[in-house]
Amino acid sequence: MSNSWLRLWHDMPNDPKWRTIARISNQHLSLVQAVYLHLLVDASRNVTRGHAHVTIEDLASALDVTENQISDIFKAMQGRVLDGQKLTGWEKRQPKREDSGNRETGAKSVAERKRDERARKSAALIQVNEETESRNVTKCHAMSRNVTTDKDKDKDKDKDKDHRAAAMHSTENVDHATENVEKTAAADPIHNRAIELVKLLYPRGVQLTASQVNVRQWATDGVTDAQALTALEAAQAQRAKTGSKQPINSGFLTVFIAEQRAPPRQKIEQFDPVAYVNRERISLRNKRNEPDTGEVIDGTAIRL
């Protein structure tokens, strides 16, 4: 699964609109910027690019805040960076020339650039093979000057031997490159575990890749298959409860994985002053070896 990209511009972090939105919504500046980044990502991967369909509930869960905070920020963004669900200035900030190509400017798409790169590599490989073969032929010609026509068969054998040696050398290079790739994969157990989690969750409808920060963090933290599947069930139940058709991504699933791995909360026993006084009376009588008269305080404490 290939990576998709969007752009950030140099003045984005210090844009004065964020302070205006933060002041009007009465929310922190960092939360305003975090919400806008989520909107950028959602608008970039949407079918209609530039339109964000992420829900207030999902944003609140992803950023660990209340839905009212997200709603206040959305309202303050309208007319400034949002026009309904559309991000204003999208066409200016996110042109298509590096995404899907632009016939007017002649810019190539990602697929076209990749195809050209493969063609260049193939041409370079063919050139190397032709130069190798040319050197072998030249060597054979030089040897043939000192050989009579009665030894043409020996010359042909030498050619075959050189070709076999070149083919064997090429095979050794391929084997060596394959071995290096396998060693690199074995040297990164975190990446291997991230790939295992992707193979587990992607067929079940989760949108994620092994290179994403959240997925690598799961692998680093030692998230088990059982924890990942239990968290996925909870995320799917939340989607069904809200009626949302938004696909489950790694950011949304991280919230439920954290809940699965969080230690159980200890129940704090409420202090009962009446029971405390009765216990102290019984303890004092026991220390003094006084008989148990059965006298206790019977009542309910009321906070004044």
pLDDT per residue as tens digits for the range 226-250: 999 999 999 999 989 888 888 999 9
Per-residue model confidence (pLDDT) at position 113: 81
Cβ(46)–Cβ(57) under 8 Å? no
Whether residue 116 is contained in a domain is answered as yes
Answer yes or no: is pLDDT of 18 > 90: yes
How many domains are there within the chain?
A: 3
Look at residue 224 and give its three-state secondary structure.
coil
Has residue 294 been placed in a domain?
A: no
DSSP 51: B
Q: Which residues have CB under 8 Å from 193's CB, separation 6+?
A: 219
Same-domain status, 71 and 29: yes
Q: What does the pLDDT look like over 59-88, one tens digit per residue?
A: 999 999 999 999 999 999 999 999 988 999
Q: Going by DSSP bridges, is the β-strand pair 82-83/86-87 parallel, antiparallel, or unpaired?
A: antiparallel
Residue-wise pLDDT for 250-289, tens only, equals: 989 999 999 888 877 666 667 677 777 778 777 777 777 7
Structural domain includes residue 77: yes
Domain assignment present for 228? yes
Could you tell me the pTM of the whole model?
0.35
In a domain, 105, yes or no: no
Q: Is residue 6 part of a domain?
A: no
Q: What is the pLDDT of residues 168-218, one digit of tens each?
A: 655 565 455 556 545 555 578 999 999 999 999 999 999 989 899 989 999
Q: How many CA atoms lie within 13 A of 17 on its CB side?
A: 15
- Distance from C-alpha of 78 to C-alpha of 256, rounded to nearest angstrom: 31
Please, what is the end-to-end C-alpha distance for the chain in angstroms? 64
Given a contact cutoff of 8 angstroms between Cβ atoms, the answer to whether 44 and 90 are in contact is: no
Give the chain's mean pLDDT.
79
The residue whose two tokens read 């963090």 is 217
Domain span at residue 256 reads 190-261
